[in-house]
């Protein structure tokens, strides 16, 4: 997915959900234009979009672990809430589904179906995290909006989030498409060599996602696209925290994290021969008042560190997901192939870090 496509999708969402508030689209444009082409600006623009829509009462920010009563209350507070929608099904839902795994997604499907029946479509904005940002748009507009902003916005109706039957098609987002099933195991071999525990978990989520969720219900993410469950799952496996897997093979950072935080966490990934890279000259001595300068300093630090890794035969790989990024190490000889696999698997953006320019590989190359 190109940077320009994601930028245009965010602006399309802002315009569609707040047609009477052009300042929101302008704010997104200003944020994304501040440093054109940089993935972190897309993440920041997404945060601006969601925050301003929330302030305007046009989205309900939720976590997929929130209770149905809380989510219902948040939706009813929206200025676009369809007051004519029926809730006579809700008592039945509470009686039969409150503890059913996947029940919260089923609840959202039912809300979406009943709101659709009265002319308002329930949509979810991709926040780049496990949280959701729910909004209502007129049904006559939703098809075009979702098509134009399909990687940033998804329609919620029966069958779009769960595999629960009731004459409803199975949810297609659980089963990863072939390109993801091909790319992720190869990627795991590069980023987690000789780790059969990770490969076994990955094969489970790719081959039988329902069994995977039955065994590991904490991994039941609010997915935003086909293959998303497997993509998020692999990142969680490489981090290891949720699985008790050690040592970790990835570390996660927010774009606001400072050099000292990054230096400390990257040190956990380093093999002993690289420990000399983590010198005191980075991080604690830096005192920057302007957050934008901090971003510049952090970028320089990561490039210099990536170059040092590369001289020692390693590559520092960055994987952008939403409003943050994951860093990991692989053999330098495998770096270009790793980035190509990450992009073909559908991650937002990926690159190897260093001051020496390394072109983004063709995802269609063998």
Does 2 have pLDDT greater than 80? no
The answer to whether 127 and 94 are in contact (CB under 8 A) is no
Q: Of 186-190, 218-222, 248-252, which has the strongest mean pLDDT?
A: 186-190
The mean pLDDT value for 33-62 works out to 78
pTM of the entire predicted model: 0.55
- Report the C-alpha gap between 147 and 12 in whole angstroms: 11
201-217: burial string, b at 16+ Cβ within 10 Å, e else: bbebbbeebeebbeebe
Does 350 have pLDDT greater than 80? yes
- Report the C-alpha gap between 165 and 142 in whole angstroms: 25
Q: Percentage of residues in the chain with pLDDT exceeding 90?
A: 27
The confidence score (pLDDT) of residue 156 equals 86
The confidence score (pLDDT) of residue 79 equals 92
The answer to whether 53 and 24 are in contact (CB under 8 A) is yes
The confidence score (pLDDT) of residue 181 equals 94
ω into 69 cis (within 30 of 0): no
Q: Of 39-48, 151-160, 280-289, which has the strongest mean pLDDT?
A: 151-160
Does 244 have pLDDT greater than 90? no
The confidence score (pLDDT) of residue 173 equals 55
Does 363 have pLDDT greater than 80? no
- Report the C-alpha gap between 278 and 292 in whole angstroms: 24
pLDDT tens-digit readout, 161-212: 765 544 333 344 567 889 999 999 999 999 999 899 999 999 999 998 878 8
The mean pLDDT value for 335-354 works out to 92
Does 306 have pLDDT greater than 90? no
The answer to whether 37 and 23 are in contact (CB under 8 A) is no
Judged by average pLDDT, the poorest of 71-80, 86-95, 272-281 is: 272-281
The mean pLDDT value for 280-297 works out to 47
- Report the C-alpha gap between 310 and 356 in whole angstroms: 10
Judged by average pLDDT, the poorest of 97-101, 131-135, 280-284, 334-338 is: 280-284
The answer to whether 347 and 355 are in contact (CB under 8 A) is no
Confidence of residue 313 (pLDDT cuts 50, 70, 90): confident
pLDDT tens-digit readout, 113-130: 899 989 999 998 887 677
Q: Percentage of residues in the chain with pLDDT exceeding 70?
A: 75
Indicate the domain borders of the chain. Answer: 3-156, 173-248, 249-366
């Amino acid at each position: 997915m190109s940077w320009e496509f994601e930028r245009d999708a965010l602006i399309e969402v802002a315009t569609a959900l707040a047609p009477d508030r052009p300042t929101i689209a302008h704010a997104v444009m200003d944020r994304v234009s501040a440093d054109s082409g940089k993935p972190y600006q897309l993440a920041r623009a997404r945060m601006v979009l969601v925050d301003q829509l929330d302030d305007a009462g046009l989205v309900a920010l939720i976590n997929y672990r929130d209770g149905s009563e809380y989510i219902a209350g948040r939706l009813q507070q929206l200025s676009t809430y369809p007051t004519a929608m029926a809730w006579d099904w809700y008592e039945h839902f509470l009686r039969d589904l409150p503890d059913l795994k996947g029940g919260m997604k089923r609840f959202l499907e039912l809300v979406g179906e009943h709101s659709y029946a009265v002319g308002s479509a329930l949509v979810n904005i991709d926040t780049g995290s496990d949280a959701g940002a729910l909004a209502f748009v007129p049904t006559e507009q939703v098809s075009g909006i979702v098509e134009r902003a399909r990687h940033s916005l998804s329609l919620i109706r029966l069958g779009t989030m769960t595999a629960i039957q009731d004459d409803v098609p199975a949810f297609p987002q659980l089963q990863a498409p072939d390109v993801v099933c091909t790319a992720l195991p190869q990627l795991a071999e590069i980023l987690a060599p000789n780790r059969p525990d990770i490969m076994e978990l990955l094969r489970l989520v790719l081959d039988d996602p329902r069994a995977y969720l039955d065994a590991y219900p904490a991994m039941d993410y609010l997915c935003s696209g086909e293959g998303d469950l497997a993509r998020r799952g692999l990142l969680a496996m490489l981090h290891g925290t949720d699985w008790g897997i050690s040592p970790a093979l990835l570390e996660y950072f927010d774009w606001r994290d400072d050099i000292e935080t990054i230096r400390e966490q990257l040190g956990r990934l380093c093999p002993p021969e690289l420990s000399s890279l983590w010198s005191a000259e980075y991080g604690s001595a830096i005192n920057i008042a302007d957050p934008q300068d901090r971003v510049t300093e952090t970028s320089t630090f990561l490039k210099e560190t990536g170059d040092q890794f590369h001289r020692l035969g390693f590559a520092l790989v960055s994987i952008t997901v939403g409003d943050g990024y994951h860093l990991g190490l692989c053999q330098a000889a495998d770096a270009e192939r790793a980035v190509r696999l990450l992009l073909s698997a559908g991650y937002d953006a990926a690159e190897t870090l260093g001051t020496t320019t390394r072109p983004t590989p063709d995802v269609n190359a063998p």
